[in-house]
């Protein structure tokens, strides 16, 4: 099965822009989805597909992709954006079909 | 409103077995493939297993293959995970979820499985 690699931790000053990246072979075939998870809560989808935001997600969240790398950008980070962020994608390596998650990035808003 | 409610998580000894259940409501259950995803304490999300809408196809993470079995009963709007030969590293919060690779996902609140002697 495939793997997705994320930086373990990233920090950003309040109101500034931050990019969180996700690398893996599956991203050459499939778009990444991005989830935000706060302590004690289930994950919440913030970006899916080419660059789509579910209803209720602020437009400061955006996504992009190039080659084997997907990125989540938060433009004008707010204190409430401090959370863990996970990328995922479909995984169809070999005879396997499933989903793969990145290891997660802990975002600190300073 | 979509609801996914997991149950069955308990403390179990290494080598033991456990069956998790997930009751689904608020959507047409048999329109969707379903997943189990787990999260060990203080760790990241790990995809565990996938079952097709009709139960005809199942897929597993390498870490659980041969030990866990996913199943569903569409007449009861329910998803299951039979867990055998449990190990300490299976200790985690287990989530039932739909469409986690798409644009309309739903997650339960999870059920905690602790493998300890």
Mean pLDDT, rounded, of chain B: 96
Please report the pLDDT score of residue B90 as a whole number.
Answer: 98
Partners of residue B49 in chain A, C-beta under 8 Å: 98
Contact predicate A19/A27, CB 8 Å: no
With an 8 Å Cβ cutoff, is B4 touching chain A? no
Q: Closest partner residue to A103 among B37, B44, B101, by Cβ?
A: B44
Check pLDDT > 90 for residue A97: no
Partners of residue A98 in chain B, C-beta under 8 Å: 47, 49-50, 59-61
Closest of A25, A19, A20 to residue A8, by C-alpha: A20
Check pLDDT > 90 for residue B101: no
Q: Which pLDDT band, with edges at 50, 70 and 90, does B78 fall under?
A: very high
Please report the pLDDT score of residue B4 as a whole number.
Answer: 98
Check pLDDT > 70 for residue B58: yes
Partners of residue B95 in chain A, C-beta under 8 Å: 42
d(CA B79, CA B55): 10
Helices and strands, counts by H and E, chain B = 0, 11
d(CA A18, CA B117): 44
Q: What are phi and psi of A28, to 5 degrees?
A: -75, -20
């Amino acid at each position: 099965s495939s793997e997705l690699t994320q930086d373990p931790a990233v920090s950003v000053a309040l109101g500034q822009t931050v990019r969180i990246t996700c690398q893996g072979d599956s991203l050459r075939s499939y778009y990444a989805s991005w989830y935000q998870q706060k302590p004690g809560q289930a994950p919440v989808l913030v970006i899916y597909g080419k660059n789509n935001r579910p209803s209720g997600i602020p437009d400061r969240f955006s996504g992009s992709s190039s080659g084997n790398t997907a990125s989540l950008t938060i433009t004008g980070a707010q204190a409430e954006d401090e959370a863990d962020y996970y990328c995922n994608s479909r995984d169809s390596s070999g005879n396997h079909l499933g989903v793969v998650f990145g290891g997660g990035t802990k975002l600190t808003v300073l | 409103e979509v609801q996914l409610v997991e149950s069955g998580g308990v403390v179990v000894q290494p080598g033991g077995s456990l069956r998790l259940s997930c009751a689904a409501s608020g959507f047409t259950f048999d329109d969707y493939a379903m997943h189990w995803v787990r999260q060990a304490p203080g760790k990241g999300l790990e995809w565990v297993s996938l079952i097709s809408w009709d139960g005809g196809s199942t897929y597993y993470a390498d870490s659980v293959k041969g030990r866990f079995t996913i199943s569903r009963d569409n007449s009861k709007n329910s998803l299951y995970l039979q867990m055998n030969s449990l190990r300490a590293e299976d200790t985690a919060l287990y989530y039932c979820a739909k469409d986690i690779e798409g644009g309309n996902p739903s997650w339960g609140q999870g059920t905690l499985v602790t493998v300890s002697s």
